[in-house]
Structure formats: structure tokens, C-alpha cells
Amino acid sequence: MRLHGVKVPHKKNTANSAAERMPVPKEVCIPMSMHIGKPASIVVKRGDTVKVGTLLGEADGFVSSPVYSSVSGTVKKIDEITMSVGAKISAVIIETDGAQEPAEDIKPPEVDDFDSFVDAVQKSGVVGLGGAGFPTFIKLKVEDLSKIDAVVINAAECEPYITSDTRTMLDKTDYIFKGIDAVKKYLGVKRFIFGIEDNKSECIKTLKKRTENDSLIEIKVLPAIYPQGGEKVLVYNTVGKIIPKGGLPLDAGVIVVNVTTLAFIGEYLETGIPLTEKCITVDGSAVKEPKNVIAPIGAAVKDLFEAAGGFKSEPYKIIYGGPMMGIAVPDLNAPVLKMTNAVIAMDEKEATPPKATACINCGNCINHCPFKLDPRAIAKAYSLNSGEDLEKLCVDLCMECGCCSYICPAKRPLVQTNKLAKTVLRNYLNKKKEDGKNE
């Protein structure tokens, strides 16, 4: 099996820009859902005084994550906001006092075995910081540790523009290896592999220097081909194993963890400060001074852009994440989330999609799809509302990386069609399941 992809412009304009801490905003809006799973349950009320690290929302279910205050100040109100994906979520609005005073109960967690380590990771509030947002402790809570052959550290950062992981590797190197040491000690893992693209020479040099005398850690330098950082792609290109359809990396004997997530774990074990801030790449054709910014979670994206000098031209589209898989931001008041690794502002020229024309059946979409899906056939099945055909075409395997749309000479919205086709498939499978129950 050979995994494909596309060569995208790197645009790593901020790779050499050490992160700068932005001024404390006057107000933050902290949603209770910044992760896959059930939203956190709010434990504060209007008028409460909070500090950096004060618990705002406790995990409400197994797949859930606690949420902490990123600022010191006063709870202004409890509100409901509309997220960029359209969901309405409860949020805590805090009027800041500018002091950034830490909560009194912050202290390094007591960790001495596997259970206390996983518990500490859970209480830290950390989720996949590369953008996935999956609560990290669930990845580590492995019932049979003998199933783990390796931990793959995702340092690919394959999207254009984004360099926040790059800055982690250069600026928080020690914490990365503190995180590795903890996973090594409490999970008993004997093999660690950094999957990193070859366009990050300084990071590669730094990591190789730190691991030259450690036979358990390998630096796997990979071609800079998008979507190298996709979980299934990375596992195959680092350890040569295929994650089965509908399966998890553990089914291939692997745990995949983002490099910034791992660094945060190392830092939390030392300081006890939960997840309250993020390093975020602020870039795009409309941004005056692209840079990496350390921002409190809940800060409005408008504050990020102000910290980057504002706009040099009218922003036509703003997205969380990179231009390939990013999600459009509805307005400039949208908050920084736990998994926000970049905010990109594009001018009209960069953001205007090209006009789609008729498919010429060139097959480029198939040849460049990492999983060899057939977007042409999927589009036809979708137009016919055929869930049966979509099931056969494995549209649910699509990770919506956008390679098909990017490489299509007719500029057809193939990835968007794939996404809509998944809804048709879900409806079909649900109906089939219900029909089976009624037989």
C-alpha cells in the first residue's frame, strides 16, 4: 500500500518567529466544548471571582474534558454562543483584571504510577493540540499496555502557514522530553518515533541532538507531502502499519500524540498549571505582521490580529487552522479554543474559490487521495442519494484532507461533496439498522 498526497506551498513565514505573549484582553469567552465528546458542566456563576487555573467546567462523562479560566477577573455572565460548526454551546464570559493571578490550588500533580499519570493528564484539561481536540487521557488509558509497540509523535505540521508546533520543538524542547520520559515510565513504552517533515531543518537538528544517545527514540524524517500529519498516513509512513477502517491507532499497536500536546504534558507535570493558553500562528495574506502569539484560551480572534499589527487589507475569509482543513470563523469575536493552532486571514484574491467546470475524468483525485478513494464516483452516488453505493465506495474513510479538491484541474468541490455524502451514508446505515430491528 502506497499513501499519496499533494505538494502544497509551505508558506512557513513565521517559523523563525519566537512566540510573543499578547496583552491580556479586556474580556474572554470560554466555551465548555473545545473537545470531541460531551461538553464540560459549568461550576461557576455570574459574579464569581476567578484566577488563572480556576475550574470553570468539570468533565461531564468519560469522553469529556475539564475547562479552566485562562485569566483572572470576574465572571460577567454565563451565555450560549454559536460555534463555527453551527452548534450552540454554553460559555463563561470573564471580565479580566489584567493581573493574571494564578489560582491558589495550583501545584504539580502527585504521580507515581500508571493510574495517577492518566488521572493527572485528564485533570490537566489537555486535548489534541494539533487540531483534533480528542481528550488525550483517553489515548493513554490503555487496558492492555502490552499492545503498545510504539508512540508516534506527530511533528509533521503539514498544513501551509502553521508553525506553532515548530516553535514548540524549538522553544519547549525540554518539556517534550519530559513528556516522553513520563510516557516511557508509566506506560512502559520502549519505542518513540518523531514523524517530521523534511522542511523543518532546525527542528530536526534540535531533536537529533537531543536523541543521539537514546536508542529508544527515532527521528523519522518524511517528505513534505500533505497530508503527512494525518493520523493514518503518519502511522503508515513511520511504522509501516495500516490502521483498519473504523479502527484506532491502538489497533495497529500505536499511540499517536501531537508534539505540542506531549510538551504540555511534560510542563503540566512540572508546574501543575492546567491548559489555559496556546501558541497560535497568526498569518495570511491580509495580516500585517505575521507572527506566533501566546494567547489565553477564550480571547477573541480580533485580539490576536491586533497583536499581529492588524490587517493590511480587508480580510475576505478567516479560518481556524490551515487553509486545507481549516474551519471558517463566523466573526472576529470568535474565541481561541484549546485546539486552535493557527488563525489565518485571507484577502479576497487568496480566499475566492476558482470557478468549477465539468469533470474531465483525468483521475487526479484518485491518484492523489491518501486512501485511493474515488471522488468522482462518490459525487455521482451522492447526486443519486445512493447510500448503498456510498457504503461500497467507503466515503466514511475520507478524512476530508482536501487533496482531491486541491489537485482537481476542473476545481470541483470534491471534498465538500464527500462531507455531504457522509450524511447520506449515515442516514442510510441508520435506516438499515432500524429495518433490521423490525424484521
Secondary structure element (H or E) that encloses residue 178, with its range = helix 173-187
CA 273-278-280 angle, to 5 degrees, is 165
Task: Give the contacts of 59 (CB within 8 A, at least 6 positions apart).
Answer: 40, 41, 65, 66, 122
In terms of domains, do 199 and 300 share one? yes
Q: What is the pTM of this model?
A: 0.94
Q: What grid cell was written down for 395?
A: 466515503
Residue indicated by cell numbers 486535548: 127
Pairing status of strand 254-258 against strand 150-154: parallel
Q: Measured in Å, how far apart are the chain's first and last C-alpha atoms? A: 40
Which of 251, 237, 240 has its CA nearest to residue 147? Answer: 251
* Residue 123: domain span: 1-18+106-352
Judged on CB neighbours under 10 Å (0-12, 13-18, 19+), 1 is exposed
DSSP reduced 3-state for 182:
helix
In terms of domains, do 236 and 373 share one? no
In terms of domains, do 315 and 245 share one? yes
Whether 76 maps to a domain, the answer reads no
Rg for the chain (alpha carbons), in Å? 22
- Give the CA-trace dihedral at 308, 310, 312, 316, to 10 degrees: 110
**φ/ψ of residue 99, rounded to 5:** -80, -30
Residue indicated by cell numbers 500524540: 257
Which of 322, 360, 354 has its CA nearest to residue 339? Answer: 322
Burial 223-237 (b: 16+ CB within 10 A, else e): ebbbbbbbbbbbbbb
Neighbour count for residue 185 (Cβ, 10 Å): 14
In terms of domains, do 210 and 326 share one? yes
Q: Check residue 1 and give its pLDDT.
A: 42
Q: Do the Cβ atoms of 324 and 262 come closer than 8 Å? A: no
The structural domain count of the chain equals: 2
- Beta strand spans in 301-346 (E): 317-320, 327-328, 342-346
Whether 81 maps to a domain, the answer reads no
Residue 299 sits in a domain of what CATH number? 3.40.50.11540
Which of 179, 154, 173, 178 has its CA nearest to residue 259? Answer: 154
Residue 103 carries which side chain, given as an amino acid letter?
A
Whether 278 maps to a domain, the answer reads yes
Whether 383 maps to a domain, the answer reads yes
Q: Which of 326, 352, 378 is the last residue of a domain?
A: 352
Residue indicated by cell numbers 490551515: 322
In terms of domains, do 121 and 218 share one? yes
Whether 57 maps to a domain, the answer reads no
Q: Which of 284, 318, 352 is the last residue of a domain?
A: 352
Q: Hey, which residues does 55 pair with through a beta bridge?
A: 68
Residue 338 carries which side chain, given as an amino acid letter?
K
Q: Check residue 433 and give its pLDDT.
A: 86
In terms of domains, do 112 and 256 share one? yes
| Mean pLDDT, contiguous 10-residue spans, the chain (439 residues) | 79 96 97 91 98 96 93 97 88 97 97 97 93 87 93 97 98 98 96 97 97 95 96 95 91 96 98 97 98 98 97 96 93 95 96 93 95 96 97 96 96 96 95 78
Q: Check residue 439 and give its pLDDT.
A: 63
Which of 34, 19, 88 has its CA nearest to residue 335? Answer: 34
Q: What grid cell was written down for 413?
A: 468541490
CA dist 194 to 121, 148, 160, 183, Å?
21, 16, 20, 14
Q: Do the Cβ atoms of 29 and 93 come closer than 8 Å? A: yes
Whether 345 maps to a domain, the answer reads yes
Q: Which of 293, 322, 352 is the last residue of a domain?
A: 352
Give the sign of the dihedral formed by CA 226, CA 231, CA 236, CA 238. positive
In terms of domains, do 110 and 230 share one? yes
